[in-house]
Amino acid sequence: MLNITVESKKSLVQAFSDFMPYKIAKKKSLEQLISDNTKIVSLSLYYDMEYDFGYIALGLSKNTILTQLCIKMRATDMSLNNIVDLNLHTLILKDTISLFITNTKLQKLSITSGVRGDISSYIKNHINLKELYIDYYDTSNMKLDTLLCDAISKNTTITKLTYRGDIYGCISINTTLKSLHIDIEHITPSFYKYISSSTTLEEFVDIDYIHGRTSIYDKIIEFDNISVISIGFNKPTKKILDWLKRNRSLRWKSQSMFITNIYIGLVSKSFMLPPYVFLEIYDWLYPDNPYTSHLKKINMIMNLQKSVQRIWKPDESENC
Answer yes or no: is 263 within a domain: yes
Higher-pLDDT residue of 130, 168: 130
Q: What gap in Å lies between CA 185 and CA 216, rounded to an integer?
A: 9
Average pLDDT over residues 232-254: 82
- Domain annotation covers residue 122: no
Q: What is the mean pLDDT of residues 155-171?
A: 78
- Which pLDDT value is given to residue 115? 61
Residue 318 has pLDDT above 60, yes or no: no
Give the Cα separation of 165 and 93 in Å (integer): 15
In a domain, 162, yes or no: no
Q: List the 131-136 sheet strands across, edge first.
A: 2-6, 40-45, 68-73, 85-92, 108-115, 131-136, 160-164, 179-182, 203-206
**Model confidence over 1-38: pLDDT tens digits?**
688 888 888 888 988 887 788 888 888 888 899 999 88
Q: Which residues contact 266 (CB under 8 A, 6 or more apart)?
A: 273, 278, 281
pLDDT at 317: 47
Buried b (16+ CB within 10 A) or exposed e, 176-199: ebbbbbbebebbeeebbebbbebe
Residue 101, exposed/middle/buried by CB under 10 A (0-12, 13-18, 19+)? middle
How far apart, in whole angstroms, are the C-alpha atoms of residue 109 and residue 69? 10
Q: Is residue 146 part of a domain?
A: no
Cross-strand pairs, 92:
115
Q: What is the pLDDT of residues 180-191, one digit of tens each?
A: 888 777 777 777
Q: What is the pLDDT of residues 137-156, one digit of tens each?
A: 555 666 667 777 788 888 88
Q: Which domain holds residue 281?
A: 254-312
Q: Is residue 55 part of a domain?
A: no
Of the chain, the percentage scoring pLDDT greater than 90 comes to: 5
What's the burial of 103, exposed, middle or buried (CB within 10 Å: 0-12/13-18/19+)? buried
Query: pLDDT tens digit string along 191-239?
Result: 777 777 788 888 888 877 665 565 667 777 776 788 888 887 667 778 8
- Round to whole Å and give the CA distance between 191 and 171: 5
Calculate the average pLDDT of the chain: 78
For residue 112, being part of any structural domain is answered with no
The pLDDT of residue 101 = 72
How many distinct structural domains can be found in the chain? 1
Q: Is residue 307 part of a domain?
A: yes
Please tell me the predicted confidence (pLDDT) of residue 47. Answer: 77
**Nearest one of 163, 192, 158 to 178, comparing CA atoms:** 158
pLDDT of amino acid 160: 92
The pLDDT, as a whole number, for residue 2 is 82
Q: Confirm whether 290 is domain-assigned.
A: yes
More confident residue, 243 or 102: 243
pLDDT grade, residue 134 (50/70/90)? confident
Percent of the chain with pLDDT over 70: 79
